Structures are given as C-alpha cells and as structure tokens.
Amino acid sequence: MIDEPRIHDYGDGANVHKKVSLEFGDMGEGFKEADLIREDILFYEGNTHLPMEQHAAVAHFDADHKLTLWSATQTPHYVHRALAKTLELPASHIRVIATPNGGGFGGKSDPFNHEIIVSKLSMMTGRPVKVTLTREEVFYCHRGRHPVLMKIRTGVKKDGAITAMDFQSFLDGGAYGSYGVASTFYTGALQTVTYNVPRYKFRGLRAFTNKPPCGPKRGHGTPQPRFALEVHLDKIAEELKLDPAEMRLKHLVQPFSVTANYLRIGSMGLGKCIEKVVEGSEWKKKFSNWDRENRKLPEGKGVGLACSSYICGAGLPIYWNNMPHSGVQLRLDRQGGVCVQCGSTDIGQGSDSILAYIVAEILGIDPFDIRVITADTDLTPVDLGSYSSRVTLMTGNAAIQAAERARELLTMAVAEKLSVPIENLSFADRRVFDVENPETGVTFAEAVVLAESKFGTIGTVGSYTPPRSPGRYKGAGVGPSPAYSYSAAVAEVDVDASTGIVTVERIWIGHDIGQSINPALVMGQVEGSVYMGLGEALMEEMTYRANRNVVHKFPSLLEYKSPTTLEMCDVVTYLIEDRDPNGPFGAKEVGQGPLLPVMPAIANAVYDAVGVRIDEVPITPEKVLTALRDKAKGREARFGPKRVPDVEWPQPLKVLTPAEGGDGKEMPRVAVHS
Amino acid sequence: MMRLPKFTYRVPRTVADAVKMMSDAGAEGQFVAGGTDLYPNMKRRQQTPKTVISVTRLKELNQIAGDGRSGLRIGASVSLTDICEHMLINRDYPFVAQAARTISTPILRNMGTIGGNLLLDTRCNYYDQNYEWRKGINFCLKKDGEVCWVAPGSRKCWAVQSSDLVPLMVAVGAKLKLVSTLGERVVDAAGLYNDDGIDYLRKRPNELLTEIQLPPRNGWRATYKKLRRRGAFDFPVLGVAARLDLSDDGTVKDAKLILGGIAPAPVEVKEAEQALIGAPLDEERMQAAAESCYMKARPLDNTDFLMNWRKQMARPYVLRALQELREQ
Ligand SMILES: Cc1cc2nc3c(=O)[nH]c(=O)nc-3n(C[C@H](O)[C@H](O)[C@H](O)COP(=O)(O)OP(=O)(O)OC[C@H]3O[C@@H](n4cnc5c(N)ncnc54)[C@H](O)[C@@H]3O)c2cc1C
Ligand code: SF4
C-alpha cells in the first residue's frame, strides 16, 4: 500500500476518516434463499440546515476569573466540555448559557471556533466579546447533510420478504470530523428497524475532502440510506408486481423484538401509519399498479409511498461515562410555585414547555404555574443537548421521576394532616384531595407548606439513563435507542414533461408518536419536516466551483435554493399513538423522523407520474428532463450514479443474529489463509 | 452582517437639482431609487459611490399619466407595487403589471422602482458575492479582476441582464426619457442596452431616467413569461417577452420576441419574428418561432440551473407565450 499523507492525525488513515464493515448472519445463505436479488446505486447530495438566524456567541470573563458564554448552541454541555479543554480552565469556572437560537436542525451542535474565540478574547481583554457569523460563514461552518453514494443489494422472496441485505455507503465528509464517525455508522444502522431483515451487512466509509465539514442535520446520517432503501424497495415491488404499500405492510418488523443488528424495537405503529396514508390519499384509486398503459391518474401525475423510522434518543453519549443522560431538578416554593431546572435546550421544538406539561400533569397543577429554567450549566443539571431526538423522551422521564418524588413528599404531609390513607390522595385542579371524598383536601400551595413544614425545603431530582442495548459488538453503540418512531408518507406530484419541473401537490403523512404530549407541537414538527423534505428532495444542494479552488458556489440565502411558502405543498397529517413503555407517558420522537419518508416518497411518485427513475436528490428539472429524453430514445429511463468506488474493505466484523442464537457479541476473527 | 461603506446621501426635490448634484458629484456619484439593487451591491463592494443621490422625492418621477389610447407615461420612481396595483396599467397594459408581479417578493416590490428595475446591474454567480468570496477567486473582469471565470478566453463580461421588465419594455417599444445638465433626450428601450456585462447601458452615468413612455395600444397584444426556480425571490434565468400585432383575419402583421436573462442585454430573435410575420398564428409557425429562439439562446453557466437546460427551456416558454397571445 502506498504511504499516503494523512489529512488529520485522527481517523483511519490518509484521507479516510472512518471505515466500517459489519456482518450480521450468514449472508450467503440469505441470498441463496432469495427468489430475486436486486442491486441499486443511489446518491444523496449534501445540503445544509439553513436556520433563520446565524450563529452568535458572547463571552465574558469577569473580575473573579469566571467565564460565561452565551451562545446559540443546541448542546451547552458539550460546549462546556470543549471550552474547559481548549481554554485550560477548570470546568467549574465556566458557565455556558444556551440562548434562544433561531433554528438549529443539528447545525448548532458542534462546539464551534467562534465560541472558543470569543471566550479566549474575553480572557485576554477582560471585556465582553461577541461574534455573529455572516450568512456566508454559516455556510462554511456547515456540519450539514453528508453527500452519500450508496449501493444496496437485497434478496427477496416472491412476496417481498427480505432474505438478506448488503448496504454500502460512501460519505463525503468535508474537511473535518465533526460527528462523522456517528454519521458513518448511522448510514448503516436503521435499515433493519422497519421491515424484517434477517441477515444484514453494512460497509461504510467517510472521506475527508476540501469542503466545509459535514455533520449532523435532522435525521443525522439516516435520510440518505432511507432514500436509497425506499426507492430500492419500490423497484423491487415493481419487479415482483406487488403493491408497494401491501408489500411493506406484510413484512413489518415485529414490535418488541430484536433486529439482526441487535436494535431492540419497542412499540411499532408503522402498519397503522401506512394504512392511514393509503386510505387518506386514496392510494388504490391513484397508484398505477406498475401498469403504464392503464393508468388511473393522467400521465404526468403520480403517487409514491415511503416509510421510515428514527431513534428517540441515542443510546450512548458522545463521550464514555456511566452517568445519566438527562437530569431534572424541581424546587417547590411556599406560594405553590414550581420551578423545573434542566440542562435541555429549546431550539424551537418546544422542549421547555414539555417539562412544564409533564410536571404539571403529575402534580395536578397548571403548566402556567410552572417556571422552567433550562440550558444553563450553572443553574441546571446536565442534559446532553438537543440532538438525536432525545429531549422529550429523556428529559420527560427525568421530569416524571423528579415530580413523582415531590408528589410523594407532598402526599405524606397531606395524608398526615387530613388523616386519610396515602393511596387515597390525588393531585388535580391545583388541589390535593381524597378521591373518596373530594371535598376533603388542601390547595396545592397548602400542600407545599405542609410538606415544607414537615421535611424542610422541598426540592427533588430525577434523572434518566437509557436502557442497555443488547448489542455488544464493536460499533454497536450507534443505532440503539429507548424507542423508535415510525412514519409513512404518500406524495402526489405533477411532472411537466416539457420542462422536467416537479410540483409536489400534496403529502399525506402518518407518524407514530407513541403519545403526543402537545399535538400542536407534534403537528408543527411533522409539517416542518415535510417542508424541509421538499427542499432536500427538489432543490437544495451544497455545490462548489471545481474551476475556482472549490469555492462554495453560492453561500447566500438567495442563491442556495430552498423552498418558499409558495413551494410548500398541502400536508395531511395523521398522528398514530402507539404508546411505548420507555417513553414518558408513552411518548416517542417527532423532531426528525417525519422528514425521512418525504424524499423517497417524492422520488417514487415521480416514477409513477412519468416512468423515469431519478436515483439521486435533489430531483431537479434538469435530471428529470434528461431521463425523459433518454427514455424517449429507448435508453435507460433513469438518472443516477452508475458505479461506486472500489474500496479495500476491512474484513467484516461478524455477529450471529439473535435468530441464529447470537449473543450480541462479535464472533472471534478467523485468520483467513489463502 | 455586511455593512454599507460610508457615503454622502443627498435628496433633491427637483429634477434640475438632481442633475446638478450629479454633475457636482462627478464620477463618484450615483442615483438611487428603492436601493434594492444598489445597496446590496454597495455592501458587497461591487459598487462604491461616494455620493448617493435619491430620486424618490422628485415629483415628476412619481406620476403616472395618460392611458391606453394616448399612451402611458410612468415616472421612473413609481414603485413596483404601484405598477402591480395601478388601475390604468391593469386595464390597458395588464402585461406590465403581470411582469412586475413576477419580480422578487411583495416586500421588495414596495421599495423597488420601475426605473431602478430598468437600470438594474447585470448579474453573475461569480460577481454577486461578497468581497471576501470574490477575493477568494481573485475577482473577475467585471470588478477588480482580470479574468472572466465564465468564459476565461474572452475579454468580455457575460453577466446577465436580469430585469423582468427590460425584455417587455423592449418588446412593446417603450421609450425612455433621460435628463442631464446637458438637456434631455428620449431613447428607444431597445437602444439602451448594450451586450456587455460591464458597460451594459448606452447611457451616460450622469443621466437621470425620468420617465418610461408606453406606446398607445392600438391593437397589439403582449405577454411575459418567466423561468425561475421558485415562485418568489428569484431573478429570471430566462424571460420571454412577446408582442404581436394581428390583423382581423388572424394574420400576424408584426411580431417582437425578446429573450431576457440569458445574455448581457435583451436578445431580439429576428428569425422567430420572421417566422411569424405574414402568416396565421398556427401551431407550426409557433413551433418554428420557438425553435429559432432555442437556437438563438446561448446562456452561460453563471446563474441558477444548468445552462443547457435553460437553453432548452426557450422552446416551451416561447411556445407558452405565443399560445397565450393567441388566446388573448
Ligand atoms: C432578493 C432580490 C431579488 C430580486 N429579484 C428580482 C427579480 O425577480 N426580477 C427583477 O427584475 N429584479 C429583481 N431584483 C432587483 C431589484 O430589486 C429590482 O429590479 C428593483 O426594481 C430595482 O429598483 P430600485 O428602485 O430598488 O433600484 P436601485 O437599487 O435604487 O437602483 C438600481 C440602479 O438603477 C440606478 N437608478 C435608479 N433609479 C434611477 C434613475 N431614475 N435614473 C438613473 N439611474 C437610476 C441606480 O443608480 C442603480 O444603478 C431583486 C433584488 C433582490 C435584492
Ligand atoms: S461574466 Fe465573467 S466577468 Fe462578468 S461578472 Fe461573470 S465572471 Fe465576472
């Protein structure tokens, strides 16, 4: 092997940041059982978060040599750690406050240069220092969606049952690591959690290139493989002449099961999501059924379906430790006020209010009675941050624990005062009362006074640590989650054959939220996801000028094309509530999952409309028109990549699947003599 | 945040004062109307006038007079919103309002003026970038540099004529009144634009545009079709302005087909006009005209979309414009 210079001192060598090779089960046997083996190559172009507000940070190093940083960050705890390390200050002398941040979508998750710069400058000058990025600089900070080239090979039975799946992904990482190792694993982790995949192989590679670094954007590493998988399944359904909705419904992963790659599935409402969108969209009356001659919709109009799943919080933190992922502190005061403190960061998704709803529910008071203090490393216990759709589930569980502990103290004090048995006391309508005799009771504020008189100042804590994953192999850390959300979408499109312009007319989307704690917030996330999905599907791309030192082609809001309200389609949302035992009140995530089915549903709908496969996003008019012309000339009616690079993959790490009697650990490596 | 460079701001109340102030300011002076083009350019240091003279308080420039029978005179400082909403324009020159409505966004149209729109700087993806970005590529011919990155072999700048109203004004034969301390003159819109991305106007920098004169509507019809990525914000990457004069039996007496958004100046496609004149407006003629426009359209790679696709779009967009005129 040639000794190539390394780009960074971390990574797997030369320009390779990470190389992964995992194999679950006997692939040979899996493909042998198949009636059909199909292989597809697809590409997902990179795009960026495009938050409304640019990043900004202010630091102040004060007279007693303590540093405070106010920053538009999604992860104050990780920024806190990064500052302690780079500034060589004791962490206890640093305070990080996450401010309202004008949109994050993953783009404000890395500790950034400007956060360190303002801190250092303030230490040097003793004055407050502020940096606000220009829009152009936000494009360069990026950490957005990785461009990913993918090859997927799947064996299926005649009824669409998957016998084996082999997935390869090639990630263009840009200049730095960011969370790129996790991104790489995520391009291979969640293929198994929607439909039953008995044997699975994944190889992934992330390369460094001369571009702004890629990182986590909504869906982190999973929209790309999900796009590939769902388009690939559509093609399989066509080859098998099966209805793509029915084919999927038939082979759903079982609830409360463990997948071939050792992800533990909890509640699983995907079937209901599919049924809802099929019914709502009148799929049966619209879908061509692969028969172009006897179409139900006019030529140029089409429908497409796709599904997805997403984690409700990463099972592991980004640095190894045994502590909780989320902590909540409650303080009850004599006036009946309740203060919830938690390190979580509200980035517009409404996570602050979730804390209030949950505590109010348990203490029987109104959410408006609650004061919420979050995202301040001095005032609030650690929460790892707003990423991986972890916040409602993890802070919610921690809040439940803290509130239940407070309720217990109040119950004891009130029971004593009223001389009623503890189990008779209930909390509702700002009262604590005897359920058998509701007039007998005290106000919530009186209950707090009684408890404080009995026990002293009332404060409780709660924390949450995700359950341990059954996977024990190296690489098992990415993918496990306390629960998985599910989504299904049908897109209806209009394709203008003379221009190639695709208009998405309507999207029906079903999302299994477990339990919606505030349906308005849930719907907001679903509709916002559809909006973001339209952009990724149709126009957004991070592109560079090869002829001019790879400069970003158009780092501006005007020329980086993202949909306006005029491009937004109608959205019909169905919330499926299949409670998950691990979620607070059964709740699962909604911040990222509903984005995932949008892109493949649109791609599949374009095929239904005009009979050309666009195997890469964005699906631009240029690509559609090129494919239509090729089709007219009798060439392959497809636009997309044709090959993947030849890579010397490391020998795969082999793991027996649960069905094969595996224990989640990798098999001992056998030396290959050849 | 990008900041404006320092400049002196002057607000004349009469045309005479305005042109006098401009003559005093010399080469460092520039008029501004809504500023939606000039100020962003100043922030990016593409244009750096030392004296900026506002034309928005000049009474003559804020009037609309006449009608479809006598012709319409529109003051250069009339806002695009007023153009979109004006009763007479909507009645007698609906295509002008229709084209104006495709410009950017409602908010921008509140500020932007028709005069500013007709004098809009040419645009290019290598040029409409901030100073640091342009510095990063060693600038380009249009400003501070030596080479045109779009066509490195050429000594010419190919920045694109990007106003939506320009092709239409050329197609309908509008006339423009220009005033300076030396006097006033009226020029054909067609004669104002120069096929050079740097020197894109045949107008002296000190000339004030005061009025746009639309010819009487004696029978002709016109329309404008715009190609862009999104339904708002975006500049045209192809604009098709068409004017037809049909006789009672449906024969095309006269035709104008102007393409915008593909070259430094609006492009008249004479071949397409010839294909239409003297014959009824049938499908075959329209196809022929669309084909000529396709042949003539030679966009380069300096706007949104692939240039090859933009060229191909000339066919359907010209066809749509002509079909619409046939139905009018
Ligand atoms: C985000 C964005 C999107 C846009 N989209 C479009 C679009 O879709 N279509 C489109 O056509 N334009 C578009 N524009 C360009 C521009 O906003 C409009 O063309 C607008 O009409 C310009 O008018 P203004 O009054 O603001 O011009 P200004 O910026 O005031 O002036 C423009 C130029 O004309 C000169 N000038 C102005 N008035 C006079 C006068 N009376 N005499 C002599 N010189 C004068 C100025 O010196 C300057 O060089 C867009 C601009 C932005 C920022
Ligand atoms: S066409 Fe060439 S010279 Fe003109 S602005 Fe663009 S790159 Fe510069």
Find the CATH number of the domain harbouring B294.
Answer: 3.30.390.50
How high is the pLDDT of residue A668? 87
Q: Whose atoms come closest to the Cα of B201: which ligand?
A: 1
pLDDT tens digits, one per residue of A344-395: 999 999 999 999 999 999 999 999 999 999 999 999 999 999 999 999 999 9
- The topology (CATH level 3) of A56-141 is Aldehyde Oxidoreductase; domain 4 (3.30.365)
Average pLDDT on A274-299 reads 97
Domain limits for position B171: 59-119+160-214
Neighbouring residues of A628: CB distance < 8 A, sequence distance ≥ 6: A497, A500, A610, A612, A637
Average pLDDT on A276-286 reads 98
Q: Whose atoms come closest to the Cα of B41: which ligand?
A: 1
Q: How far, in Å, CA of A324 to CA of A465, rounded?
A: 5
Same domain, B247 and B107: no
Q: How far, in Å, CA of A414 to CA of A420, rounded?
A: 8
Q: Please name every residue paired with A545 in a beta bridge, in sequence order, or none if there are none.
A: A551
Average pLDDT on A127-143 reads 96
Mutate which of A50, A495, A498, A562 to disrupt the B interface (most B C-beta within 10 Å)? A498
Same domain, B201 and B245: no
| Residue whose token pair is 């967009």 | B317
Q: Which residue has the higher pLDDT, B1 or A559?
A: A559
Torsion of CA A432, A433, A439, A445, to 10 degrees: -20
With b for 16 or more beta-carbon neighbours within 10 A and e for fewer, the A627-639 pattern comes to bbeebeeeeebbb
Same domain, B191 and B299: no
| Residue whose token pair is 């203490």 | A363
Q: Is A527 helix (H, G, I), strand (E, B) or coil?
A: helix
Distance (Å) of CA B9 to CA B20, B52, B55, B64, B108: 14, 5, 11, 27, 21
Q: Which of A554-558, A629-633, A669-673 has the lowest mean pLDDT?
A: A669-673
Interface membership of A555 toward B (CB under 8 Å): yes
Contact residues of B toward A, CB < 8 A: 1-2, 125-126, 128-130, 132-133, 136-137, 149, 229-234, 304-306, 308-309, 312-313, 315-316
pLDDT tens digits, one per residue of A523-550: 999 999 999 999 999 999 999 998 787 8
Mutate which of A547, A557, A569 to disrupt the B interface (most B C-beta within 10 Å)? A547
Q: A16-48+143-314+474-639 sits in which CATH class? A: alpha beta
Check whether A1 has a pLDDT greater than 60.
Answer: no
Q: What does each of the 328 residues of chain B score in pLDDT, given as a tens digit? A: 689 999 999 999 999 999 999 999 999 999 999 999 999 999 999 999 999 999 999 999 999 999 999 999 999 999 999 999 999 999 999 999 999 999 999 999 999 999 999 999 999 999 999 999 999 999 999 999 999 999 999 999 999 999 999 999 999 999 999 999 999 999 999 999 999 999 999 999 999 999 999 999 999 999 999 999 999 999 999 999 999 999 999 999 999 999 999 999 999 999 999 999 999 999 999 999 999 999 999 999 999 999 999 999 999 999 999 999 999 8
A499–B229: do the CB atoms touch at under 8 Å? no
What residues are in contact with ligand 2 under a 6 Å CB criterion?
B 124, 126-127, 140-142, 148-150, 157-159, 197, 302
Query: In chain A, which residue's Cα lies nearest the Cα of B313?
Result: A499
Q: In chain B, how many domains are there?
A: 2
Q: How far, in Å, CA of A343 to CA of A399, rounded?
A: 12
pLDDT tens digits, one per residue of A43-100: 999 999 999 999 999 999 999 999 999 999 999 999 999 999 999 999 999 999 999 9
Interface membership of A300 toward B (CB under 8 Å): no
Q: What secondary structure, in 3-state letters, does A31-72 show?
A: HHHCCEEEEEEEEECCCCCCCCCCCEEEEEECCCCCEEEEEC
Same domain, B89 and B210: yes
A548–B149: do the CB atoms touch at under 8 Å? yes
Same domain, B74 and B204: yes
pLDDT band at A670 (very low <50, low <70, confident <90, very high): low
Q: How far, in Å, CA of A184 to CA of A206, rounded?
A: 6
Query: In chain A, which residue's Cα lies nearest the Cα of B133?
Result: A551
Same domain, B251 and B177: no
Check whether A152 has a pLDDT greater than 80.
Answer: yes
Domain ranges of chain A: 16-48+143-314+474-639, 56-141, 326-464
Residue B32 belongs to some domain of the structure: no
**pTM, to two decimals:** 0.97
Average pLDDT on A437-447 reads 97
Q: Is A119 helix (H, G, I), strand (E, B) or coil?
A: helix
Of B175, B194, B214, the residue that ends a domain is B214
- The enclosing domain of B70 has a CATH number of 3.30.465.10
Q: How far, in Å, CA of A60 to CA of A66, rounded?
A: 8
How high is the pLDDT of residue A674? 45
pLDDT band at A28 (very low <50, low <70, confident <90, very high): very high
Q: Which of A499, A549, A567 has its CB closest to that of B316?
A: A499
CATH number of A326-464: 3.30.365.10
Q: Ligand 2 centre and the CA of B116: distance in Å?
A: 21
Mutate which of A622, A623, A624, A629 to disrupt the B interface (most B C-beta within 10 Å)? A622
Q: How far, in Å, CA of A253 to CA of A350, rounded?
A: 31
Average pLDDT on A127-144 reads 96
State chain A's mean pLDDT as an integer: 96
Check whether A672 has a pLDDT greater than 60.
Answer: no
d(CA A39, nearest CA chain B) in Å: 30
Q: How far, in Å, CA of B306 to CA of B299, rounded?
A: 9
Check whether A2 has a pLDDT greater than 80.
Answer: no
